[in-house]
Structures are given as C-alpha cells and as structure tokens.
Copies of this chain bind each other. A is one copy, B any other.
Amino acid sequence: MERHLDVELKDLKDKLLLMGGSVESQLQDALQALTERDSDLAVRVVENDLSVNKLDVEIDENCLRLLALHQPTAGDLRFITTAMKISTELERMSDLAENIAERAIELNREPQLKPYIDIPRMGNWTSQMVKEALDAFVNRDAALARKVCKDDDVVDDLTEQLFRELVSFMLENPRTITRAIRLTFIGKYYERISDHATNVAELVVYMVEGKIIRHMSAEC
C-alpha cells in the first residue's frame, strides 16, 4: 500500500513539472517573439509569468505543509527541500523569459539590426539545459545533471562572442547602439537562465547523492 506521503510527493513532483513545462514554453515563445518579430506573442509571454508565479507560491505552500505534517527524514526531506528550491529557480527563469520578451517588443519597433544567429543558438541551448535539468530531476539522474552543469560553459562562450560582435557593430555605426545594447542584455539573460538551469542540476545531484556540489566547479 502506498504511503499517504508518497501520494503527496507525487503531486508535488507533478506540479513542479507543470511549472517546468510552462517555463519551457515561455522560453520558446520569447525566442520566437524575437526572431519572428511577433510582439503579440511577446505580450503573451509577459502575461504568462503570472501563472508561473502562482505555481511557485502553491509549491512553496505544499512543501511547507508536507514538512509540517509528515516530518519527513532522509530522502523525502531532501526531495521536498529540493523541490522548494527548484521552484524558486524556475520562477526566476520565467522572469528572465519575460525580460527577453520585453526587449523583443522594444527591438521589434525598429528595423532588425542583423540576422539573429547566436541568439537562437543560445536560446535553444538554454532551453535544452532546462529540459534536461528537469528530466534529471524526474529520473533522479545525477549523470544527466552533471552534463547540464558542463553545458553552462557553452552559453558563457556564446555570450562573450555575441558581446564582442555587438560592440563592433556599435563602433562601426553609433546608430545601432540602442539596439545592440538591448541584444547584449538578451545575451546576459540567456547566460542567467543557463546559470539557473545549472543550479537546478546541482540541486538534483544533491537530492540523489546527498552531496552539495555547488561552488565546487571541479565536481560538476
């Protein structure tokens, strides 16, 4: 017979995956809003942040209720505190998707500065990291989580490359400055989303192995 706690833990996991799915959609939509210059879609991304925030609060309340009522220990305790923290990370990714959509709305009001090549690459790469970090969580897969941590370096390199390219645009033609800076910000947002995905992955390693690997780059 299933313990009552197990049923509740499954509900918690499902809610977290629902939130994760919602954030993944927001990220894809924010990228599409930029590359296809679709500001209506960008507005929807901004609006959708509200439902993610709602899930964040619900998950937090669920976790506290589970801690108070069931006084879990060992693996269950780690699962619940990890869920609580993953929810915070997802909520911040959603804020960043909203920031990308806001910059897209501003950029879509002006002629496109350049064909977007690195940004879709960063967008797809970070979405993949988010997806894999959540898969690692669901399947308690520490190896996959460690892969996500490593993938973070690729996004850092792409951000640096984008930054250098945009500075050369600005130097050549000062009229591109405002647009180039907005694109630089988008690069930074992706860098941060990738950092949050890495945080999730580190939390998964902790949940599975009981080992805190954050702040230990050699471990991850």
Query: CB within 8 Å of B: which residues of A?
Result: 50, 53-54, 56-57, 60-61, 63-64, 67-68, 71, 73-74, 77-78, 81, 84-85, 88, 167, 170-171, 174, 177-178, 181, 184-185, 188, 212, 214-215
Give, as a whole number of angstroms, the nearest-CB distance from A203 to chain B. Answer: 10
Residues of B within 8 A of A214 (CB): 53, 56-57
Q: CB distance B60 to A212 under 8 Å?
A: yes
Give, as a whole number of angstroms, the nearest-CB distance from A98 to chain B. Answer: 12
Q: CB distance B81 to A64 under 8 Å?
A: yes
Q: CB distance B56 to A215 under 8 Å?
A: yes
5 nearest A-B residue pairs (beta carbon): A71-B71, A53-B215, A68-B73, A170-B177, A57-B212
Give, as a whole number of angstroms, the nearest-CB distance from A22 to chain B. Answer: 14
Q: CB distance B170 to A174 under 8 Å?
A: yes
A123 to B85, CA, bound (A): 28
Q: CB distance A77 to B68 under 8 Å?
A: yes
Q: CB distance B188 to A177 under 8 Å?
A: no
Q: CB distance A212 to B81 under 8 Å?
A: no
A178 to B56, CA, bound (A): 38
Residues of B within 8 A of A73 (CB): 68, 71
Residues of B within 8 A of A171 (CB): 174, 177
Q: CB distance A181 to B184 under 8 Å?
A: yes
A61 to B214, CA, bound (A): 13
Give, as a whole number of angstroms, the nearest-CB distance from A55 to chain B. Answer: 10
Apart from A56-B214, A170-B170, what 6 extra A-B contacts exist at CB < 8 Å?
Answer: A56-B215, A57-B212, A68-B73, A85-B88, A177-B177, A181-B181
Partner of A81, one of B84, B174, B178, B188: B84
Give, as a whole number of angstroms, the nearest-CB distance from A15 to chain B. Answer: 16
